[in-house]
Every structure is written in C-alpha cells, then in structure tokens.
Copies of this chain bind each other. A is one copy, B any other.
Amino acid sequence: MASSGTPAPSLTSSEPLDSATRDGFIRVRGANENNLQNVDVDVPRDSIVAFTGVSGSGKTSLAFGTIFAEAQRRFLESVAPYARRLIAQGNTPHVDSITGLPPAVALQQRRGAPSSRSTVGTLTTLSNSVRMMYSRAGTYPEGAERLESDSFSPNTVAGACPRCHGLGIAHEVTEATAVHDDSLSIRDGAITAWPGAWQGKNLRDVTAVLGYDIDRPWRDLSREDRDWLLFTEEQPVVEVTPQRDRVAKPYKGRFWSARQFVMHTLADSQSESQRTKVLQFVESGPCSLCGGSGLTRAALAVTVAGRTIAELNRLPLTDLADALRPIATAEHATAATSRASSGEGSEVAVAISRDLLSRVEVLTGLGLGYLSLDRSTPTLSPGEMQRLRIATQLRSGLFGVVYVLDEPSAGLHPADAEPLIEVLEGLRASGNSVFVVEHNMDIVRHADWIVDVGPSAGAGGGDVLYSGPVAGLADVDASVTRRFLEPTGDAEESREPRTPAATLELRDVSLHNLRDLDVDVPLGVLTAVTGVSGSGKSTLVGKVLAERATEHPLVTRVVQVDQKAIGRTPRSNLATYTGLFDAVRQVFAATDEARARGWTAGRFSFNVVGGRCEVCQGEGSVSVELLFLPGSWAPCPECHGSRYNPETLEVTWNDASIADVLAMTVDEAAGFLAEVPAASRGLETLRQVGLGYLRLGQPAPQLSGGEAQRIKLATELQRARTGHTLYLLDEPTSGLHPSDVELLVTQLQRLVDAENTVVLVEHSMSVVAAADHVIDMGPAGGDEGGRVVAAGAPSEVAAAAGSRTAPYLRRSLPSH
C-alpha cells in the first residue's frame, strides 16, 4: 500500500496536461500492485479488452487492483472529498500514474449484499416495470379502483398482505401444535401453548371460572369446547378467586385462547426469546390469505394476459416472454383511459410490455430463461448473479465508464457464449469500455484487444507480455495463452475410457427441476456432467449425489471440493488449512532456544495468546471498513504484518523466524523444509496443483476461488489414498487458465487411478473430452431440463443427436 496520505500519482502527473489522453488510451505507468513488475501498459478505451494469463499471473491485480481501484478512488475522492481519508487508507493502488482513466464500475463474481427480499425481478429492476404494467394496463374487476404501482409490491405498506405483512409466510396455531399430549387435563398442562408460571395458572383459573372442566383429559372435551379454548377471539373477563394461594384475594382475570396468546406474543412481544419460544406452537406455511405471494387481495384481483402478478412472477423468463409477446405486438392500440376496466391493448400496455420483452430477451439470450422474477437472489450461483447484473447494466444509461468484469463466462455453456459477447458489445456500443479478466478463449477471441500477463504465476509473473489486437498474440513466444487462443488441432491421441468398477444407480430422483429422474453414475472413473445453465447439473452433483452416494457400498466417503474461500479472515491461510503449519510449529518448538525458554508449539501459533502480536491478535492486519468498497485490510501498525511479538521472532531455525517461513512461497518452503517429512509431502502436492507461487501465510481473503479450490484439492490429494472416495467438483476450471486446467486434469486422473471416483460439473470441453464418462443434462434450462439427454463415453455423447453439448464436444475430441 502506498504511504498513507500521499496521493498516488503525484510526481509524474505534474507534466502539463497534454492531449495524449484524447487519443483513446488509458496509459498505466509503473504499476506495482501485488506481483506486478513495474508494469507500463496502454489499454484502449471504448473497446472490449481481455486480460489473460495463468492463475496468479497478475491479471486481477492489473484490471481490478490497479485500473479499477484507481478509477474508483479518484471518482469517490472528487464526489466526496470528505471520504478521502477512508479511501486513501485502504485502496490507493501502487502505481506511478494513470492517464486517460474514466470512472469505472466493477461487476465481480461476488454475491450481492445479502437481502432475502431481493429477487431476480428487483435486482434487474424488471419488477418495477411489471408493477407499472399491472397498475396502468391491468384488467381490473368490475368497479374496482385503479391501484398505484406500489400496491403490487409486497415490500410496500400499500402492497403488503395484511396477514403476513408481505412475507408470504403465515403462522397458524392448530390443535396439533398447541396441545402436545391430549391425555393431559387442562390443569396438568394440556394446552402447551399457554405460558407457564403465574400467567398459566391464571389462565387455568379463568378457564375453570368460565365453566370448563379443567380436570378432564383434553381429548375427552367436546370438539366445540376444544375449538373455543384454542381459537376464540373472545376475551371474557371474570372474577377469579385463587384457590391455593394463601392470600386469597379475588381479582379480574382475562381469558386468552391459545391462538390469541401466541399471535399476540409474535406480533407485540418485545422479547426475542419469547417470540422464538412460541414459534414452536405454530405451523408455518404459505399465508392462506395471499397464497404466499405477500400481496393484498385487491392486487391479486388484477390480471394481465389472464394472470395475476404473482403468477406472472413465478413464470420462467422464457414463458414470461411468451406471455408478453402478444401484448407487445398488439396492433390498433387504444389510448388508455382511467375509466376502462382493462388497460390491455392500450398504448401504454404496448409500450411497457415492449420494453419488458426486450429486456427479458436479453436474459433468456444469456441462458437465464429458466429463472423466474420471484427467484430469490441468495439461491443464485455467482455466475448467474453476474450475468443478471451485466444485462441490467445495459439499461443503466452509463456512458464513458470502464466496466471491469471478472470472468463473465463462468458457469456458461459454450452455446451461451455468443449472446454474452453481444451483451458486452452492447455495453461498448453505448459508449463504454469493457475490460474482462477471462479464460474462456471463445470470449477472448472476440475481444478488440488482449493484454496477456505472465509468463507464469506470482513472482514469476507480473509482466505484460503482450498488449495489442488479438491476432498479434500469435507471435509472442513467451505467452502461455497463445497456444490456446487458436486451437492448433494437434489434440492428443484418443484415450480408451476406463471401465467402471461398479455403477451407482439413482432412481426416481426429484429435486428442483429433476423429476422422477433415473441416472446411472459409474464408479471408479472420471465423469463429467454437462448441460446448459439451469439444466440441473449442480442439483444432481452438488445435492443429490452428495447426499445419496454413500448408499452404494463402494462409496465410503464423499468429498465436495468447491470454490468457497478456505477462510474469511487473515487468520486462515494455506499453511493452517492444509495442516502443514502444525509441522512447522513443531520444528520451532524443538529448537534449543525454544526449549530453553520453555516454549511449546502453541507459542508459535498466531491464533492464541502468547506468541502472537496482541494489537492485531495475530491477524497481521487490521480491518478498514469503506463506504462503497468491499472491506479491506491494512498492515498492523505494531508487528508490520509479521503477526508475532518480537520475543517470539527471536527464535529461529536455520536462520529463519516463524514469520519468515510464513513469508516463503510454496516453492521456497519446499526446499527449506525438505528434511521435515510432515511438511514436505503437503508442499509437494501444492506444487503439483500449480500453487508453487503462493506464499504460505497469504491470508485466505486474498486467494481467488480457483486457488481456494486447488488448495482443497491438494489437501485431499495428500491424504492417504484409501480409494472408494467420491470427489464432487463444481466447475473446477472456472478461474483457471487453459494451461492450469491441464495440470488440474492430471491430478484428477491420478485420484481416479487410486480407485476413487471423480464427478465434475464442467463447461470446458477439453476437460469433458478427457473424462471417461459424460452425463449430458438438458435439453434446456429449468422445466425444459432436468433430464439426461445423452450419457456414455465422450465420443458417444459427441455423436448424440439433440444434445446441445455434442457439437462443442466434437471439436475438442481428437479427429480420426
């Protein structure tokens, strides 16, 4: 981080303002963020620019860490100068100067701010238009008053269902939930839902005064009595003379039925624990008043194309488009009048639905036709989320900004790459620059310009090998990307698929869009599950297989290797995650110096009191919360990032302190710790999955999803290979350069060779071609998917008619 308070581009930007900025380039000089080696590069504006290079080469450090971060910093500093100190602290990139840099918008793979009420409709703002359509162009019941747009949203006061307050979920008290043991009498506590202690006794006394028999078993009371006691809204007040109290002073007692009491507590109690307690006496389900839509009856009485807004919101986008098309293309539109009971066929209906349709078609074009407007965003994959946001940006009206995107092709079937390119071109056509960090060569080939970073990862990368039109990369010998950009047709010899050891027969599977599905998964081989987005791949692999695979005797263990972070704080890193740090700490505890001081391995942990720096509590950094920027970290002012107190660092082994070891790369540590078997085995595996460039202590939040997944894989690889383990991977190639993909596949093959089973969801056809077995889901997404379209060896699936994967797979298979 630049020294705080010093604006980054200070010295060099004192040149006179020249017209160099006008010639269409962003000129970066002296970029040193992370592993960047004093990079100078010129990147054209108003273009689609692909940043390529192997994982860890520095693409992200250049595109996001330098260009985006600096643009963001400058703009925020100008609009909100008082936020300057906040911004400067965390996010001043290491760069001498950047000229010609417009404001930037980042669309990353992160999930949006978690809001359970956010849906596909709200995220894309399509819901606004849909509500406007119902308000202005809906068919209203005879005599009904026209409703405001807000009335069609469950999140507004005007629109929320009065029973469930717009949540769509209602709580009901039933006999089963309120009375847990119907052999008990009321006196003995039959009505479980009533409160305990004095208040419960009071209610029993009131009930007795009211003339009910509180000593008879509940089940022997009449139906009528039981219903009244449980559900009445009446609240008679009677005079009670406590029978067992010593001071028998009569008082007025009010009756509460079980339902009244529970509902009152839920609605009005100030005590969270009280509310949680009574929740066990209710059945929660879709609200019966609004059918789970959260809307008022008045709103639900309005229709468009014969559907309520709740029904329309539930349609997959493909069907929504079909429903809108006739309205949007209606001829002879009439002027809308507020008197007509239906606005359909009016000019405004045509205008709104045309607008909606064009926007929905962008989404279906991106392969998201299976999503519905009411799908809640927390259930979306990061790839789906990002594509929704990219498409939404088309409508933002922004001009002259730089969009920086993080692998927009992630999760995308090759068939859907074409429309994605069109969307990126749309952003460019409306006057913006589009920078993508991308591994998918189908996308990269369509860029206007390519910036190739490398040659390898970490300290071995960080140089710009090429910056220019795509075609020119072919002449750059040092580039690893070059080889993949234009497939040379020299695919390897075709390999005979392995024979399965057994078959896991899943029958009658129903989840999400899988309905009564029968599918066979061969064991002891490498299987790739393919299909367009929404076809059911993740559901099958991540949910069904994960839960049911151990039903088969030959599967003793199921391991999911995903891209989730290996930890959320700087306290986690690959050394702690893989366990090799334990071995390192033992080594330090065994030194003479440590023994003399009476220090055990615990002293060398930065996670417990003793050896660690107490200012940062061993994190090495302190958190800096920023306004619009993801939280970031600044080095600890006390230990300057070493994580330890000075005494601990006095102990060395082979001249290195424990902090020095954490600062080594995997490659360096492999040499340094060669004689420590417990450490060197793990280090070797990390190198095999291509992570030799990572520093041992690199905090988990700084690792990419791909790096995290490979660390997890390495951890698995170093375990004793028992065989009979099922490894499940969801798109392990996302974030990986084609050359890293080759490394990864080698490791997966070795797992299979050790008598394990590997099943992966995959879009990269070079990986699919290397599998023993392919299960192609489809034919399309959502309700149109969930079936097995083709299954068999790659060559068999490549030949299957009706498979959208087949044509792409064919190209990746060795030609005969």
Contact = CB atoms under 8 A, between A and B. Distances in A.
A396 B74 contact: yes
Contacts of A123: 81
Nearest to A103: B103
A410 to B, nearest CB: 19
Contact of A99 (B19, B81, B113, B399): B399
Contacts of A429: 17-19
Contact of A149 (B3, B79, B103, B627): B3
Given A115-B82, A393-B78, A103 B7 contact: no
A457 to B, nearest CB: 30
A74 B398 contact: yes
Interface in A375-411: 389, 393-401
A128 B5 contact: yes
Interface string A4-21: 111101110110011101
A441 interface: no
A248 interface: no
A132 interface: yes
A247 interface: no
Contacts of A10: 128-129, 132, 355
A387 to B, nearest CB: 15
Contact of A11 (B6, B81, B150, B355): B355
Interface in A395-442: 395-401, 426, 429-431
A720 to B, nearest CB: 47
A585 interface: no
Nearest to A4: B150
A351 interface: yes
Contacts of A149: 3, 5-6
Contacts of A128: 5-7, 10
Nearest to A19: B429
A82 B18 CA distance: 38
A430 B78 contact: no
A284 interface: no
Contacts of A100: 399, 431
B81 A358 contact: no
Interface string A755-782: 0000000000000000000000000000
B103 A401 contact: yes
A445 interface: no
Contact of A112 (B21, B82, B148, B352): B82
B5 A99 contact: no
Contacts of A72: 79
Contacts of A99: 397, 399
Interface string A436-468: 000000000000000000000000000000000
A751 B80 CA distance: 43
A312 interface: no
A430 B17 contact: yes
A332 interface: no
A75 interface: yes
A77 interface: yes
Nearest to A106: B79
A174 B125 CA distance: 68
A45 B102 CA distance: 14
Contacts of A163: none
A748 interface: no
A354 interface: yes
A336 interface: no
Given A149-B5, A351-B11, A21 B77 contact: no
Contact of A354 (B14, B80, B103, B355): B14
Interface in A107-131: 112-113, 115, 123, 125, 128-129, 131
Contact of A103 (B9, B13, B75, B426): B75
Nearest to A88: B128
A22 interface: yes
A251 interface: no
A3 B148 CA distance: 9
With a 10 A CB-CB cut-off, give which of A70, A79, A628 has the most chain B CB atoms.
A79
Interface string A589-629: 00000000000000000000000000000000000000110
A377 B128 CA distance: 44
In this complex, which of A21, A72, A98, A123 has the most chain B Cβ atoms within 10 angstroms of its Cβ? Answer: A21
Given A431-B21, A431-B22, A101 B7 contact: no
A333 interface: no
A788 to B, nearest CB: 38
A651 interface: no
A75 B79 CA distance: 11
A293 interface: no
A22 B125 CA distance: 26
Nearest to A359: B14
Interface in A1-53: 3-7, 9-11, 13-14, 17-19, 21-22, 45
Nearest to A153: B5
A800 interface: no
Given A105-B79, A150-B4, A13 B397 contact: yes
A790 to B, nearest CB: 38
Contacts of A6: 128, 132, 149
Contacts of A81: 112, 123, 389
A583 B274 CA distance: 58
B352 A399 contact: no
Given A153-B5, A398-B74, A113 B82 contact: yes
15 contacts: A5-B150, A14-B359, A17-B430, A18-B429, A21-B431, A75-B398, A78-B105, A78-B398, A78-B401, A81-B123, A81-B389, A82-B112, A98-B397, A102-B102, A102-B401
Ranked nearest first, the 8 interchain pairs of A and B with the lowest CB-CB distance are A102-B400, A14-B355, A82-B113, A400-B400, A103-B103, A21-B431, A78-B105, A17-B429
